Each structure stands twice: as structure tokens, then as C-alpha cells.
Structure 1
Amino acid sequence: MTALPGIALDEWRAQGQGFTFKGHAIRYWVAGALDAEPLLLIHGFPTASWDWHYLWQALAQRYRVIACDMLGFGYSAKPRGHAYSLLEQADLQQALLAHLSISGPVHVLAHDYGDSVAQELLARHHEGRIQLASCVFLNGGLFPETHRPVLMQKLLLSPLGPLLGKLFSRGKLKANLNKVFGPHTPPSEAELDAFWSLIAHNDGPAVMHRLIRYMPERRQQRERWVAAMQKGGVPLRVIDGALDPISGAHMVARYRELIANADTVLLEQIGHYPQTEAPAEVLAHYLQFREWLEAKTCSDVLS
């Protein structure tokens, strides 16, 4: 497949805008036509919305793409002593949409930690608190029982967490990412520099042990979030790097067990970050999903 041109981190940062959420400064990015269908991109842990930079321009040609660095991530505020939660991050996504005066149906594309935020938004959709038009999940812990965290994540949850966060370094980031990327698609040194820059900004390692509380929160919300996926009414797809040791083929197998008529795509040689490891493939499978959705909508209207 043709490689997609990325966006250098400095250029990406310059395109960012800001708004305030609960007194905290949040950086966000918007591109595409104002009248295009909104597509909300939700990033993962421990990186930021730059994760989407390979897909950004191609998606912006078709949709109004929206992404923010969530609280505690990237170029957004990283308050010390804060009780970070996935539910609050869902509040943040809704606040961003409100800030942009978007009130109609929204499509969602999420990854990793962002999958859990998307699951909460899906649950809120069924409660009438937001309108979702579709949701596509990349590799993430959709089910606590299939999530296999790396050692660093486990240690961050332990009493050693505050110390380990402060000691976290570019070298440790490289070691951890090399374990979860596909063997043939490791992050480049330039990508590692960018990822580390985003994590280190505003002394981010000092709050990593607080952000990691999403793992027990996933267990607390499991029944609500799985029920939301099983309810139907919102088209779903999973596009998953099969070789990811955290949420790879084993997670997709569980998804197929629990979700009726499961729409899943396995990228056989790809790991945990398909949007940076195989962006052209992710784009093709995402656009195929949207084309199918549009064709189905037209068919439903005509029938």
C-alpha cells in the first residue's frame, strides 16, 4: 500500500488550539470542512493525539476530524494529585464537541485507553446523553479479562508507581514500545523522540501512576460497557493488530464471542499501534467501513 505522509510533531503542535475544561488547559485539533460529518479521534495511553498524524490529512478530506490531548496527556494540562478517570475523559470529549458547537451524531475512531472512553460514550448514547453514528476500535482493552498489561503498567499500579513514573525515561519507553509493536514495524528513533516529547511535556511521568488507574476502572465499568456494545443500534468495527501482546488476536476472539455479528479486521503482522505501524491499511479498512455504512443507510432510506 502507498505510504501516507505524516505530520512532523512541531507542525502538529503549531496547528493546535486551546479551550478550558474544568479549569484545565486542553489542546485540540480540528481539520476538514465545517459541514462534513464529524469524526472524533480518541488516543491511547501513554501517548497523545499526534498518534493519528498519518491518518489526519486523508480523513480530513472526507470528514471533520476532531482530536484532543486528554487531561494528563500530550500538550494538555497534567495536574498533580488529580483523580484521573475514564468517565471524566468522556466528559472532556463531550465538552470539546460542545465547544465546537457539534450537537448531531458523531462518528468515533479510538485506540487503547481511548477505546474505554469510546465505550463510555457508547453507553451514554444508549442513555440519550450523546448521539453516536458509529464507533471503530483499534487495539485496546475492551474486556478486562483479555487485557494483558506489560510489566511497567502493573508496576505503575503498585506502591512503587510514583517512583517508577518519575524514573520513566525515553529508554524505558523504547523498551516497552518495542515489546508491543509488531516485530517488522517497530517505532523509528524519530517516532520515539516524538512520543517521548509528548509524554515528558509538563513533567508527564509524574502523573503516570495516576493515569494508570484506568485499569481497575475498566473492571468496575465492564458490565455497563459490554452491555453497551451488545445492545446494537450503533455500527461497530474492530481493526486490530494481531501480534499485540496486550490486546491482539486474543482480544478479538473474545469480542467475537460476546458481540453478535461481530465486524472485525485482523492485521496479521501488526502490533499494538496499527495507526502508526500500518496507517494505510487502517485507513483502507476504516473507509471501507464508512462506505458500507453509507450504502446501508441509502438502502434503508429507499426500502
Structure 2
Amino acid sequence: MVSLQQWQSQGSFTQINGHQIFTKVAGDVTKPALLLIHGFPSASWDWEGMWQALSEHYFVITLDMLGFGLSDKPKNAGYKITEQADLYTQFLKTLNINDIHILAHDYGDTVAQELLARQVHNQSAITINSVCFLNGGLFPEVHKPLFIQKLLLSKFGWLVPKLMNKQKFANNLVTIFSKRTPPSKQVVDTLWELLIHKNGLAVMPKLISYIKQRQQNRERWVGAIINSNIPLTFIAGAEDPISGKHMIEHYKKLIPNARVQEFVELGHYPQVENPDAITQAYLDFRNCQ
């Protein structure tokens, strides 16, 4: 497992829309571009177990979104999903890339849905050729937030950063990983370090607004999946209490000719719990197009 220090040393900071954003690329720029979009409340380090293998096949691009990981975490930001999507489009612009595939997880699924919606509505300067979603709240009506997420959303959300500590964070992680693939000490330590970097706990009550944004923009973001004419797939750990088996079943129900790969033994972070299996599943999806 790559340490956070190694991960950071292989990336750089890019000024995007007035903020210092941690960015990272790897692989051959002449190969297809693959954009990796991380989840909440973690960062691009989530992809470390897949990074090397994916960079052999693609020009891989990622960043830590505003409010996450090693990037800036301003207290006065709005933290809109549309603004996070803008970060990716701006970064792609600096790389002179306008043709991509997307692999997203959790909160990143919603950002991918916004990017896809822009393409569906002819509002995008980027051409998206395929999207792979990992566990995430694609459909707000069946998303099951954790108690701590509900608390963050409530009028008492400001209390959470004051009450949160590493042990409580670890306990929450354990509940969303599969019992067979619990988070290692290194995973807990690294995700906690990324969370508290630049006083990240303080912006969590603002970041959690994505759950409300999903409800407000349901028609646009769910419509993006239903109305898209590019290859899509949902690769998911079924043992995820937030967006596992129930999300998989709903995806199959709503999406015509749904392509789904279910991992019964994995939880909410499939790419961390078994990166090799998820890498292979992703490559299989791409190879059958």
C-alpha cells in the first residue's frame, strides 16, 4: 500500500478557480484518458491500490476536490457539486484533454452524474466515452445515510467536528466496510490524516450538503444515467449499508439494459477493500465495449 507521503510526492498542487488543488496524473498521455473521482469524506488516495495497474492502460487523472484531502478547505465555500465538476473540467483543460472515461465512487458518482448531465444536455466541452460508478448514492430515494451523516445534515451539524475523533471515525469506517475486508490500520490512519488536514473537520457540515443537492437535482442527475447513450456500469460491494444491495437492485430496476457487477463480499469502499478485483472488473467492462 502506497503511503500518503509517497502519494503526495508523486502529485502536485495546481491553482484551479482560485484554490490550491492537489492533482495527480500517470501513464502515457497518448493512451485514453481516465478520470478518477473520489468519494466523501476521503480523497484521491482511495485509488492508490488501482493506480499502478490502471496507469498501464490509461493516462490516469485525479485530484482532491475542494474541501477534501490535501486540497484547500475554505470555510466560506459553497461546496456545490457543480463547482466540484468545474474543478475537473478546468484541470482537464490545463492538460489539453477533452476526451475521457470516468471511474467514480460515492460523492464522486454525483459529480460524474453532473458531468454526464452536461453532456446529455449539450452543455459540455468534454466528451465522456464511458462511466463506471462504484458504490454511491445514485438515487437519493434509496440512499441510506449513516447516523453521523444525518447528524451533520441537522441543525446540530456544527457539533460533529467538535465531537469527532479518530476512534469514532474508525468505528464508522468499520460499519461500512465488509466484515471480511475491514479497514487496515494504515487505511484508518491515512483517511483520518487526510480528513483533519487543513482543519478539514470544520467544513464537513458544509460538504454534507451534497445529500440535499442530490434530492434537489434528482431529475437532472438520475436523468443523466437514464438518457445517456454511452456505456455505463455499476460495480458495487453489496455489503454496504449506505449504497449496497438496495442500490444495486434499484439501479437494475431504473436503468434500461443495466450493466452491473455485484461483489457480495465487499462493502462501501470496494476499490480499497479489494483493489485487484475492482481493477479487473473495470478492465473487463472496458474490454467488452
Q: Normalized against structure 1, the TM-score is what?
A: 0.93
Which one-letter code corresponds to 1:88 in the other structure?
E
Mark the runs of 5 or more structure 1 residues left unpaired by the alignment: 1-5, 294-303
Instruction: Identify the residue that residue 98 of structure 1 maps to in structure 2.
Output: 93
Instruction: Identify the residue that residue 288 of structure 1 maps to in structure 2.
Output: 284
Instruction: Identify the residue that residue 299 of structure 1 maps to in structure 2.
Output: none
- Work out which of the residue numbers 82, 89, 96 in structure 1 matches 2:84: 89
Show structure 1 runs of 4+ deviating over 3 A: none
Mark the runs of 5 or more structure 2 residues left unpaired by the alignment: none
Quick one: distance in 2 between partners of 1:52 and 1:273? 10
The answer to whether 1:56 aligns with 2:43 is no
Greater Cα offset, 209-218 or 168-177: 168-177
The answer to whether 1:152 aligns with 2:148 is yes
Q: CA deviation at 1:139?
A: 0.1
Instruction: Identify the residue that residue 22 of structure 1 maps to in structure 2.
Output: 17
Q: Normalized against structure 2, the TM-score is what?
A: 0.98
Instruction: Identify the residue that residue 182 of structure 1 maps to in structure 2.
Output: 178
Quick one: distance in 2 between partners of 1:189 and 1:158? 30
Instruction: Identify the residue that residue 201 of structure 1 maps to in structure 2.
Output: 197
RMSD: 0.8
Which one-letter code corresponds to 2:237 in the other structure?
G
* Kept in 1: contact 2:27–2:58 (CA 8 A): yes
Quick one: distance in 2 between partners of 1:91 and 1:137? 19
Identity of aligned residues (%): 49
Q: CA deviation at 1:263?
A: 0.2
Q: Give 3-state SS (helix, strand or coil) of 1:73's partner.
A: coil
Instruction: Identify the residue that residue 107 of structure 2 maps to in structure 1.
Output: 113
Q: CA deviation at 1:232?
A: 3.1
Q: CA deviation at 1:167?
A: 2.6
Matches within 5 A, 1:239-254: 239-254=235-250
Quick one: distance in 2 between partners of 1:265 and 1:38? 23
Quick one: distance in 2 between partners of 1:232 and 1:125? 8
Q: Give 3-state SS (helix, strand or coil) of 1:186's partner.
A: coil
Quick one: distance in 1 between partners of 2:177 and 2:199? 25
Which one-letter code corresponds to 1:252 in the other structure?
I
Aligned length: 287
Quick one: distance in 1 between partners of 2:28 and 2:6? 20
- Work out which of the residue numbers 62, 65, 68 in structure 1 matches 2:60: 65
* Kept in 1: contact 2:116–2:228 (CA 8 A): no
Instruction: Identify the residue that residue 3 of structure 1 maps to in structure 2.
Output: none
Instruction: Identify the residue that residue 297 of structure 1 maps to in structure 2.
Output: none
Instruction: Identify the residue that residue 214 of structure 1 maps to in structure 2.
Output: 210
